[in-house]
Amino acid sequence: MKLSEEKWLIKKNNFEVSPVNETIFTLSNGYLGVRGTFEDLFFNETPGTYVAGIFDKSESQVKELVNLPYFWGLKIYLKYEYLNPFECEILDYKRILDMKQGLLYKEMRLKDKKNRITKIEGYRFLSHDNRNLALMKYKIVPENYKDRITLEYFIDGKTTNSTFHPKERVKHYFLSNHVVSDDYLYLEACTRDKNYKVGILSSVEAENYHSKVSRNYIDFIAQSIDIDPVPQNEYTINIYTSILDSRRYDNLHENNLKEIRKAKNIGIEKLLENHKKKLEKRWNVADIKIYGDEKADKALRFNIFSLLSLANPDDEMVSIGAKGLHGEGYKGHVFWDTEIFMLPFYIYEYPEAARSFLMYRYYTLDKARENAKKNGYQGAQYPWESADTGEEETPKWGEDYYGNKVRIWTGDMEYHITADIAFSIREYLRATDDWEFFLNYGAEIFFETARFWVSRAEYNKDKDRYEINKVIGPDEFHEHVKNNFYTNYLARWNIKEALKYINIIKEKFPESYNKISRKINLVESELKKWKEVSNKIFIPWNKTTHLIEQFEGYFKLEDKIITKYNEKNMPEWPENVDLTKLNKYQLIKQADVLMLMHLLSEEFDYETKKINFEYYEKRTMHKSSLSPSIYAIMGLTIGNHSKAYEHFLRTALVDLEDNQGNTALGLHAASAGGTWQAAIYGFGGMNIDKDEKLNFKPWLPPHWKSMEFNIYYKKKLFNVKITQNHIKINDLSSLNDK
């Protein structure tokens, strides 16, 4: 197998069970995600097989992305003795994620206790050309023996969610069908609440084998292939798997079989070529090249690879969970992470994918309406955590830093997501000019979210102002707060922009306006109230000092400053902080005031950004991976380059170096998006001015020779090359078919 050049490879050379490596080596194509466990499936590994949008609750607290049967099982036996790598001498070992080819490669030479040496080499991938296909190929070479080799391929239907957490472990499916034949194995899982079915069909291709046996062990099906080998000969096994689910497809068994027959006719090598071509097309647009900093260059590429792996523009029913399709952290739920952190990447690098993620919010708009109504408001209130239907899925209970049971308030109070979604629709429209989307879908969301804020704001008669109280802003250390700057500012923005778009649509697209206003019953008299609320929403900002109070009363809290950093350069808790009472301190979890200054950068002057950066940076614990990227961007904006670079590495390496300590639970997908933003908005200095012109004001670290990237803007593709003294922008549209 020819691997790509070094800059495309993530390598691990130590043979070990590592849940962090399982996440890093996860393969995904937007429909499927399979964690990077070994084919043997060792007992202490955490397998994960997920299909986007397949959730189930059963006895868990909230719905979870279902951990489905594991279908990449392969064990090797020599004379019917399991060739257990942990009992062998490892002569050679490497596992490599080849990001350019989108595959996971493995090479191993094992010497067992009887001195038999076996070489195993091959790869697996989830096709980006046909998202229902998973392919695996291994070559086995018996170097010095002719004992019978048995290759046992299996699909394991015993998997559960939270495998190693005895209080949270849940089996979310039962097996509704098995078919076991010489030709193929078929296992069908059926979720317990909604009866979503997922059919998995695999067919094994092998040459020069002696015999083949397929077995049904009820919760585990397998095919064993005996080979009587000639030493030094190479024995190849190809495994074709097709996965279909009943949310999207009918006749799972028959259709899977058709897929596999087609795939086997095409052959694994050609399927790999087709997959690579599709991925290459995306890389040709989305790759960012940093010359002069190999570490940053590769880390950035890993983040882009992860984002490309999570997109599926053909599927409008799903969005990206906070941990991607890479693990069970946050139960596979969708947060503001998608719209505020990841979406910019898709808008500028893969606009079709951006549109489909926004369509998920349209698809769940009715549930957001119900949610608002249930809570006593109007319009649409998006849930803080969302799964398959768009209902609120935030768990009510969790654990604090000491493992004590605590009430989780985010689902009740982290309202800002509703404005975040409106914000992302404006970002998408401005960059793509996709008025078809806006007029048919986006505007409806925009107006319904504005309507929500108008009903959510409370009138304070004494102060003649509207307030938004009992909220949690982006910083989740502080709950039940009054007038969070971020929330109030973005709520006002949401209403004002909605009013602006109402005028634009009325004037330019009167038919669409009539259609939307009739559909959502929007009348002129209502708009008066919108204007009043947006003019009188209280924004806690005393412009004379520049320093913005995160929420009313924040400056009165006990002040603690961060002075120490751990070996991964992450902040350490200042002394004498009671981690059960974080509400008491000015320490914050993640960017909040600074977050808003990043989103609406043009509304804040340099002085204000600088003063707030310097104040909040010393008080931000970065306990959320969503934080460092924002400090990288804002650091560059105010000219604090060294801090900015430090924050950039924190976000870019969050998973590769596991600097939050929880990569085992899945990818930090928002941080991946934030890394892209730090590169493009930060070092590239990209911004859009009020005339909607694209501008670049780059700054590169002194050791960076140059940086190069492409950007879609208003349906054109531009190439941007930045060196220490120059910037060159080329219009590539004629070279591209989009």
The three state secondary structure string of 425-458 is HHHHHHHHCCHHHHHHHHHHHHHHHHHHHHHHCE
Please state the closest distance from residue 590 (CB atom) to ligand IFM, in A: 6
List the structure tokens of 690: 């009020």
Q: Which residues pair with 150 in a beta bridge?
A: 77, 226
Under the binding rule (CB under 6 A), the answer on residue 624 touching ligand IFM is yes
CB 281 within 8 A of CB 352: no
Output the six-digit token pair for 603.
Answer: 């509304």
CB of 87 to ligand IFM, least distance (A): 40
Q: Which stretch binds ligand IFM (CB under 6 A): 283-291, 335-343, 536-544, 685-693?
A: 335-343
Write down the least CB distance from residue 545 to ligand IFM, Å: 27
If the CB atoms of residues 25 and 336 are measured against ligand IFM, the closer one turns out to be 336
CA trace torsion 511, 512, 518, 522 (10° rounding): -120
Q: Determine if 479 is a binding residue for ligand IFM (CB under 6 A).
A: no
Question: What letter would DSSP give residue 87?
Answer: G
User: Three-state DSSP class for 628?
Assistant: helix
Stretch that binds ligand IFM, among 181-189, 334-342, 347-355, 363-371 (CB under 6 A): 334-342
Q: Give the pair of three-digit tokens for residue 187.
A: 């296992």
Selected binder of ligand IFM within 125, 220, 335, 415 (CB under 6 A)? 335
Q: Is 336 an interacting residue with respect to ligand IFM (CB under 6 A)?
A: yes
If the CB atoms of residues 239 and 626 are measured against ligand IFM, the closer one turns out to be 626
Residues 6+ apart with CB under 8 A from 724: 700, 702, 704, 705, 706
Distances (CA, A) of 216 to 185, 235, 328, 527: 9, 25, 28, 65
Residue 275 to residue 638: CA distance in whole angstroms: 43
We find the least distance from the C-beta atom of residue 694 to ligand IFM, in angstroms, to be 28
**Which residue from 22, 328, 337, 658 is in contact with ligand IFM, where contact means CB under 6 A?**
337
Q: Does 413 bind ligand IFM (CB under 6 A)?
A: no
Nearest CA-CA partner of 345 in 669, 722, 728:
669
Out of 156, 476, 497, 617, the only residue in the binding site for ligand IFM (CB under 6 A) is: 476
Residue owning tokens 């849930």: 383
**C-beta of 474 vs 540, nearer to ligand IFM:** 474
CB–CB of 110/91 below 8 Å? yes
Query: Is 737 strand, coil or helix?
Result: coil
Q: Answer whether 159's CB lies under 8 Å from 67's CB.
A: yes
| CB 588, min distance to ligand IFM, A | 11
Single-letter residue type at 390: G
**Closest CB to ligand IFM among 199 and 673?**
673
Q: Are 57 and 63 in contact (CB under 8 A)?
A: yes
Residue 390: CB minimum distance to ligand IFM, A: 17
- Give min distance, CB of 707 to ligand IFM, in A: 28
CA dist 539 and 552 (Å) reads 10
Least distance (Å) between residue 391 CB and ligand IFM: 17
The contact pattern for ligand IFM, residues 149-188, with x = CB under 6 A and - = no contact, is: ----------------------------------------
Question: From CA 56, how far away is CA 592, in angstroms rounded?
Answer: 33
Instruction: Choose between 235 and 423: whose C-beta lies nearer to ligand IFM.
Output: 423
Please tell me the distance from the alpha carbon of residue 648 to that of residue 699, in angstroms, as a whole number.
13
Distance CA 578, CA 587 (A): 11
Give whichever of 95 and 478 is closer to ligand IFM, judged by the CB atom.
478
Query: Based on CB atoms, which residue is closest to ligand IFM, 330 or 346?
Result: 330
* Cβ 240 vs Cβ 202: under 8 Å: yes
Start-to-end CA distance of the chain, whole Å, equals 32
CB of 394 to ligand IFM, least distance (A): 10
Question: 338 vs 432, which CB is nearer to ligand IFM?
Answer: 338
Residue 429 Cβ vs ligand IFM, minimum distance, rounded to whole Å:
24
Between 337 and 444, CB nearer to ligand IFM: 337
Taking the least distance from each CB to ligand IFM, the nearer of 394 and 608 is 394
CB of 624 to ligand IFM, least distance (A): 4
Q: CB of 361 within 8 A of CB of 353?
A: no
One of 626, 652, 680, 711 touching ligand IFM (CB under 6 A) = 626
Nearest to 38 by CA among 98, 120, 101, 132: 120
Sign of CA dihedral 239, 245, 249, 254: positive
Pick 445 or 670: Cβ nearer ligand IFM: 670
Compute the residue count for the chain: 738
With b for 16 or more beta-carbon neighbours within 10 A and e for fewer, the 176-205 pattern comes to: eebbbeeebbbbbbbbbebebbbbbbbbbe
Question: Using the rule CB under 6 A, is 322 a contact of ligand IFM?
Answer: yes
Binding string to ligand IFM for residues 456 to 475, with x set by CB under 6 A, is what?
A: ------------------x-
Residue 568 CA to residue 653 CA, distance in Å, equals: 10
| DSSP one-letter code for 657 | T
The 204-233 site mask, x for binding ligand IFM (CB under 6 A), equals: ------------------------------
Residues tagged active-site: 476
Residue reference for tokens 């009739």: 518
Closer to ligand IFM by Cβ: residue 302 or 335: 335
> Whole-number minimum distance, CB 335 to ligand IFM, in Å?
4
Count of CB atoms within 10 A of residue 118's CB?
23
Q: Pick from 97, 296, 353, 670 the residue near ligand IFM by CB under 6 A.
A: 670
Annotate each residue in 52-91 with x if it binds ligand IFM (CB under 6 A) or - if it does not, as one string.
----------------------------------------
Identify the CA nearest to 349 among candidates 709, 675, 726, 635: 709
Indicate the residue among 287 and 337 with the shorter CB distance to ligand IFM.
Answer: 337
Total residues contacting ligand IFM by CB under 6 A comes to 10
Candidates 9-17, 174-182, 333-341, 702-710; binding stretch for ligand IFM (CB under 6 A): 333-341
Which helix or strand (DSSP H or E) is residue 601 part of?
none
Tell me if 330 contacts ligand IFM by CB under 6 A: yes
Report the phi/psi class of residue 129: left, alpha or beta, with left for phi > 0 and alpha for psi in -120 to 50: alpha
User: Applying CB under 6 A, which part among 114-122, 332-340, 450-458, 713-721 lies near ligand IFM?
Assistant: 332-340
Choose one: 121-129, 208-216, 330-338, 705-713; the region binding ligand IFM (CB under 6 A). Answer: 330-338
* Chain-centroid distance, C-alpha 28: 11
Please report how close the Cβ of residue 223 comes to ligand IFM at its closest, in angstroms: 40
Judged by CB under 6 A, which stretch of 53-61, 331-339, 363-371, 450-458 contacts ligand IFM?
331-339
Footprint of ligand IFM (CB under 6 A): 322, 330, 335-337, 474, 476, 624, 626, 670
